[in-house]
Amino acid sequence: MATVRLDQKSRAIVRSISDSYINAIASYFGSGPTDIAVAKAQHKAYSDALSSNGVDVTTLEADQNHPDCVFVEDQAVVIDGHVLLPVPGHESRRGEQPPIADFLVEQLKGHQICKMQSPAMMDGGDILRLGNLFFVGRSTRTNDAGIAELKDLLDHLGHELRVIDIPPHALHLTSICSTPSDQLILVPEGYLSPESFGVMPDGCEIIMMPQEEVYGCNTIGLPGNKVILAEGYPTVKSELENRGFECISIDMSQIRAADGSLTCCSIFY
Ligand code: GLY
Protein backbone atom coordinates (compact mmCIF):
# COMPACT_ATOMS: atom_id res chain seq x y z
CA MET A 1 0.00 0.00 0.00
CA ALA A 2 2.77 2.09 0.88
CA THR A 3 3.42 4.43 -2.00
CA VAL A 4 0.03 5.28 -3.46
CA ARG A 5 -2.82 7.42 -2.14
CA LEU A 6 -6.22 5.85 -1.52
CA ASP A 7 -7.59 7.22 -4.78
CA GLN A 8 -4.79 5.43 -6.68
CA LYS A 9 -5.58 1.94 -5.37
CA SER A 10 -7.45 0.39 -8.25
CA ARG A 11 -4.86 -2.16 -9.45
CA ALA A 12 -2.35 -4.37 -7.67
CA ILE A 13 0.20 -7.10 -8.35
CA VAL A 14 0.54 -10.09 -6.07
CA ARG A 15 2.82 -13.10 -6.56
CA SER A 16 2.06 -16.70 -5.70
CA ILE A 17 3.79 -18.46 -2.82
CA SER A 18 6.81 -20.45 -3.94
CA ASP A 19 7.05 -24.18 -3.22
CA SER A 20 10.36 -23.24 -1.58
CA TYR A 21 8.59 -20.80 0.80
CA ILE A 22 9.63 -22.95 3.76
CA ASN A 23 13.13 -21.46 3.23
CA ALA A 24 11.98 -17.83 3.28
CA ILE A 25 13.99 -15.45 5.47
CA ALA A 26 12.67 -15.20 9.01
CA SER A 27 15.04 -13.09 11.07
CA TYR A 28 12.74 -10.70 12.91
CA PHE A 29 9.23 -11.52 14.12
CA GLY A 30 8.74 -14.75 12.14
CA SER A 31 9.76 -18.20 13.35
CA GLY A 32 9.83 -19.66 9.82
CA PRO A 33 6.93 -21.00 7.72
CA THR A 34 5.82 -24.53 8.59
CA ASP A 35 2.88 -25.24 6.25
CA ILE A 36 3.00 -24.20 2.60
CA ALA A 37 -0.57 -25.39 1.91
CA VAL A 38 -1.89 -23.11 4.66
CA ALA A 39 0.35 -20.28 3.46
CA LYS A 40 -1.09 -20.66 -0.04
CA ALA A 41 -4.65 -20.68 1.29
CA GLN A 42 -3.98 -17.55 3.35
CA HIS A 43 -2.43 -15.86 0.34
CA LYS A 44 -5.47 -16.71 -1.77
CA ALA A 45 -7.74 -15.22 0.91
CA TYR A 46 -5.57 -12.10 0.82
CA SER A 47 -5.82 -11.80 -2.93
CA ASP A 48 -9.58 -12.47 -2.79
CA ALA A 49 -9.99 -9.74 -0.15
CA LEU A 50 -8.36 -7.23 -2.49
CA SER A 51 -10.41 -8.38 -5.51
CA SER A 52 -13.71 -8.47 -3.72
CA ASN A 53 -13.14 -4.96 -2.45
CA GLY A 54 -12.65 -3.37 -5.83
CA VAL A 55 -8.97 -3.95 -6.63
CA ASP A 56 -8.06 -5.39 -10.03
CA VAL A 57 -5.47 -8.00 -8.99
CA THR A 58 -2.87 -9.61 -11.28
CA THR A 59 -1.07 -12.66 -9.90
CA LEU A 60 2.48 -13.23 -11.08
CA GLU A 61 3.91 -16.75 -11.11
CA ALA A 62 6.03 -17.88 -8.19
CA ASP A 63 9.77 -18.38 -8.61
CA GLN A 64 10.91 -21.62 -6.98
CA ASN A 65 14.46 -20.23 -6.75
CA HIS A 66 13.28 -17.36 -4.58
CA PRO A 67 11.49 -18.45 -1.40
CA ASP A 68 10.58 -14.83 -0.54
CA CYS A 69 9.10 -13.96 -3.94
CA VAL A 70 5.58 -13.48 -2.51
CA PHE A 71 6.81 -10.26 -0.85
CA VAL A 72 6.57 -8.11 -3.95
CA GLU A 73 6.30 -4.78 -2.14
CA ASP A 74 10.07 -4.66 -1.68
CA GLN A 75 10.86 -5.00 -5.38
CA ALA A 76 9.31 -1.93 -7.03
CA VAL A 77 8.01 1.46 -5.98
CA VAL A 78 5.28 3.15 -7.99
CA ILE A 79 4.76 6.84 -7.29
CA ASP A 80 2.67 9.21 -9.39
CA GLY A 81 3.62 8.09 -12.87
CA HIS A 82 7.12 6.93 -11.94
CA VAL A 83 8.51 3.47 -11.18
CA LEU A 84 11.61 3.21 -9.00
CA LEU A 85 13.27 -0.20 -9.19
CA PRO A 86 15.36 -0.38 -6.03
CA VAL A 87 18.34 -2.60 -5.31
CA PRO A 88 16.66 -4.86 -2.71
CA GLY A 89 18.44 -4.79 0.61
CA HIS A 90 18.88 -8.54 1.05
CA GLU A 91 21.19 -9.96 -1.57
CA SER A 92 19.29 -13.26 -1.82
CA ARG A 93 16.18 -11.38 -2.95
CA ARG A 94 17.63 -9.37 -5.83
CA GLY A 95 16.72 -11.97 -8.46
CA GLU A 96 13.01 -11.59 -7.63
CA GLN A 97 12.78 -8.26 -9.40
CA PRO A 98 12.95 -8.87 -13.19
CA PRO A 99 9.43 -10.30 -13.80
CA ILE A 100 7.90 -7.59 -11.61
CA ALA A 101 9.84 -4.88 -13.43
CA ASP A 102 8.88 -6.35 -16.83
CA PHE A 103 5.20 -6.42 -15.86
CA LEU A 104 5.20 -2.82 -14.65
CA VAL A 105 7.12 -1.54 -17.67
CA GLU A 106 4.61 -3.26 -19.97
CA GLN A 107 1.55 -2.06 -18.03
CA LEU A 108 2.74 1.46 -17.32
CA LYS A 109 3.88 2.61 -20.73
CA GLY A 110 4.64 6.31 -20.49
CA HIS A 111 5.71 6.07 -16.84
CA GLN A 112 9.28 7.08 -16.15
CA ILE A 113 11.37 4.09 -14.97
CA CYS A 114 14.26 4.84 -12.59
CA LYS A 115 16.68 2.01 -11.80
CA MET A 116 18.66 2.28 -8.59
CA GLN A 117 22.33 1.41 -8.73
CA SER A 118 24.34 -0.40 -6.06
CA PRO A 119 25.75 0.44 -3.49
CA ALA A 120 22.44 2.24 -2.99
CA MET A 121 19.86 -0.20 -1.68
CA MET A 122 16.27 0.01 -0.55
CA ASP A 123 13.29 -2.25 0.12
CA GLY A 124 9.89 -0.89 -0.88
CA GLY A 125 8.74 -2.00 2.57
CA ASP A 126 10.61 0.92 4.05
CA ILE A 127 8.42 3.53 2.37
CA LEU A 128 5.20 4.90 3.80
CA ARG A 129 2.94 7.46 2.15
CA LEU A 130 0.52 9.74 4.02
CA GLY A 131 -1.30 11.70 1.34
CA ASN A 132 1.54 13.51 -0.38
CA LEU A 133 4.00 13.23 2.53
CA PHE A 134 6.49 10.34 2.44
CA PHE A 135 8.48 8.60 5.15
CA VAL A 136 11.40 6.25 4.59
CA GLY A 137 12.96 3.89 7.10
CA ARG A 138 16.74 3.81 7.42
CA SER A 139 17.07 0.10 8.15
CA THR A 140 19.17 -2.98 7.57
CA ARG A 141 17.62 -3.07 4.07
CA THR A 142 17.63 0.65 3.14
CA ASN A 143 20.80 2.76 3.25
CA ASP A 144 21.52 6.47 2.89
CA ALA A 145 22.41 6.17 -0.80
CA GLY A 146 19.05 4.48 -1.46
CA ILE A 147 17.27 7.18 0.51
CA ALA A 148 19.07 9.84 -1.57
CA GLU A 149 17.76 8.29 -4.80
CA LEU A 150 14.22 8.21 -3.43
CA LYS A 151 14.58 11.83 -2.33
CA ASP A 152 15.68 12.85 -5.84
CA LEU A 153 12.51 11.32 -7.26
CA LEU A 154 10.26 12.88 -4.61
CA ASP A 155 11.92 16.30 -5.01
CA HIS A 156 11.15 16.05 -8.72
CA LEU A 157 7.51 15.28 -7.86
CA GLY A 158 7.33 18.05 -5.25
CA HIS A 159 6.71 15.64 -2.35
CA GLU A 160 8.41 15.88 1.05
CA LEU A 161 10.43 12.94 2.40
CA ARG A 162 11.16 12.41 6.10
CA VAL A 163 13.69 9.80 7.27
CA ILE A 164 12.95 7.55 10.25
CA ASP A 165 15.55 5.33 11.91
CA ILE A 166 14.17 1.83 12.26
CA PRO A 167 14.97 0.18 15.61
CA PRO A 168 17.22 -2.88 15.36
CA HIS A 169 14.41 -5.22 16.42
CA ALA A 170 12.27 -4.26 13.40
CA LEU A 171 12.60 -5.21 9.74
CA HIS A 172 10.96 -2.41 7.74
CA LEU A 173 9.11 0.82 8.40
CA THR A 174 5.92 -0.84 7.17
CA SER A 175 6.53 -3.87 9.42
CA ILE A 176 5.67 -1.56 12.31
CA CYS A 177 3.25 1.02 10.98
CA SER A 178 0.84 1.82 8.19
CA THR A 179 -1.56 4.44 6.89
CA PRO A 180 -5.08 2.97 6.86
CA SER A 181 -6.17 6.25 5.29
CA ASP A 182 -4.42 9.29 3.82
CA GLN A 183 -4.78 11.02 7.23
CA LEU A 184 -3.90 8.36 9.82
CA ILE A 185 -0.74 6.50 10.85
CA LEU A 186 -0.84 3.50 13.19
CA VAL A 187 2.31 3.26 15.31
CA PRO A 188 3.15 0.75 18.07
CA GLU A 189 4.51 1.84 21.42
CA GLY A 190 8.08 0.71 22.01
CA TYR A 191 9.13 0.93 18.36
CA LEU A 192 8.76 4.54 17.22
CA SER A 193 7.72 7.71 19.01
CA PRO A 194 5.17 10.10 17.51
CA GLU A 195 7.98 12.68 17.36
CA SER A 196 9.95 10.52 14.91
CA PHE A 197 7.35 11.38 12.23
CA GLY A 198 7.72 15.15 12.74
CA VAL A 199 4.85 17.64 12.74
CA MET A 200 1.76 16.12 11.17
CA PRO A 201 0.07 17.98 8.30
CA ASP A 202 -3.29 19.59 9.14
CA GLY A 203 -6.01 16.98 9.58
CA CYS A 204 -3.54 14.08 9.99
CA GLU A 205 -3.04 12.06 13.16
CA ILE A 206 -0.76 9.43 14.65
CA ILE A 207 -2.57 6.72 16.62
CA MET A 208 -0.37 4.93 19.15
CA MET A 209 -1.13 1.24 19.62
CA PRO A 210 0.02 -1.20 22.31
CA GLN A 211 3.46 -2.71 21.72
CA GLU A 212 2.05 -6.26 21.67
CA GLU A 213 -0.10 -5.33 18.64
CA VAL A 214 2.84 -4.22 16.51
CA TYR A 215 2.05 -6.75 13.78
CA GLY A 216 -1.55 -5.49 13.65
CA CYS A 217 -0.30 -1.98 12.88
CA ASN A 218 0.37 -3.09 9.30
CA THR A 219 -2.93 -2.58 7.46
CA ILE A 220 -4.12 -1.91 3.92
CA GLY A 221 -6.58 0.94 3.60
CA LEU A 222 -8.91 0.83 0.60
CA PRO A 223 -11.30 3.36 -0.89
CA GLY A 224 -14.75 3.47 0.72
CA ASN A 225 -13.42 3.54 4.31
CA LYS A 226 -12.39 -0.11 4.21
CA VAL A 227 -9.29 -1.56 5.75
CA ILE A 228 -7.73 -5.01 5.56
CA LEU A 229 -6.06 -6.07 8.79
CA ALA A 230 -4.47 -9.17 10.29
CA GLU A 231 -6.63 -11.30 12.57
CA GLY A 232 -5.82 -11.21 16.26
CA TYR A 233 -5.18 -7.54 17.04
CA PRO A 234 -8.27 -6.37 18.94
CA THR A 235 -7.07 -2.88 19.89
CA VAL A 236 -6.16 -2.01 16.31
CA LYS A 237 -9.49 -3.38 15.10
CA SER A 238 -11.63 -1.57 17.65
CA GLU A 239 -9.73 1.69 17.11
CA LEU A 240 -10.42 1.49 13.38
CA GLU A 241 -14.05 0.44 13.84
CA ASN A 242 -14.60 3.33 16.25
CA ARG A 243 -13.38 5.64 13.53
CA GLY A 244 -15.95 4.26 11.09
CA PHE A 245 -13.80 1.87 9.09
CA GLU A 246 -15.19 -1.39 7.76
CA CYS A 247 -12.58 -3.96 8.89
CA ILE A 248 -11.76 -7.01 6.79
CA SER A 249 -9.71 -9.42 8.93
CA ILE A 250 -7.41 -12.06 7.44
CA ASP A 251 -5.45 -14.90 9.03
CA MET A 252 -1.81 -14.06 8.26
CA SER A 253 -0.07 -16.60 10.50
CA GLN A 254 1.96 -18.38 7.79
CA ILE A 255 2.84 -15.08 6.09
CA ARG A 256 3.90 -13.60 9.40
CA ALA A 257 6.06 -16.70 9.95
CA ALA A 258 8.34 -15.47 7.14
CA ASP A 259 8.52 -11.89 8.45
CA GLY A 260 5.79 -10.86 6.02
CA SER A 261 2.94 -8.43 6.64
CA LEU A 262 -0.15 -7.48 4.65
CA THR A 263 1.46 -4.67 2.68
CA CYS A 264 4.49 -6.83 1.78
CA CYS A 265 2.34 -9.00 -0.47
CA SER A 266 1.18 -6.42 -3.03
CA ILE A 267 2.21 -3.48 -5.16
CA PHE A 268 -0.51 -1.01 -6.09
CA TYR A 269 0.18 0.57 -9.45
N1 GLY B 1 11.08 -12.70 4.53
C2 GLY B 1 10.93 -11.36 4.14
C3 GLY B 1 12.22 -10.65 4.08
O4 GLY B 1 13.07 -10.92 4.90
O5 GLY B 1 12.48 -9.85 3.26
Query: At residue 226, does pLDDT exceed 90?
Result: yes
- How far CA 21 is from CA of 33, 204, 268, in Å, comes to 7, 38, 23
Could you tell me if residue 245 is inside a domain?
yes
Give per-residue pLDDT as tens, 60-90: 999 999 999 999 999 999 999 899 999 999 9
Q: Identify whether 1 is part of a domain.
A: no
Q: How far is the CA of 259 from the centre of ligand 1 (A)?
A: 6
Q: What is the pLDDT at residue 2?
A: 74
pLDDT digits over 36-56, tens only?
999 999 999 999 999 999 999
pLDDT tens digits, one per residue of 182-209: 999 999 999 999 999 999 999 999 999 9
Structural domain boundaries enclosing 25: 6-268
Q: Is 71 in the pocket of ligand 1 (CB under 6 A)?
A: yes
Helices marked H in 124-201: 144-157, 173-176
pLDDT at position 267: 98
Residues 6+ apart with CB under 8 A from 105: 83, 113
Residue 178 lies in a domain: yes
Residue 217 in domain: yes
pLDDT range class, residue 110, cuts 50, 70, 90: confident
Q: Give the CATH number for residue 156.
A: 3.75.10.10
Residue 65 within a domain: yes
CB 39 less than 6 A from any atom of ligand 1? no
> Is the confidence at residue 94, as pLDDT, over 80?
yes
The total of structural domains in the chain comes to 1
User: Does residue 169 lie in a domain region?
Assistant: yes
Q: How far is the CA of 155 from the centre of ligand 1 (A)?
A: 29
Task: Give the strands of the sheet with 246-250, arranged side by side.
Answer: 220-222, 226-230, 246-250
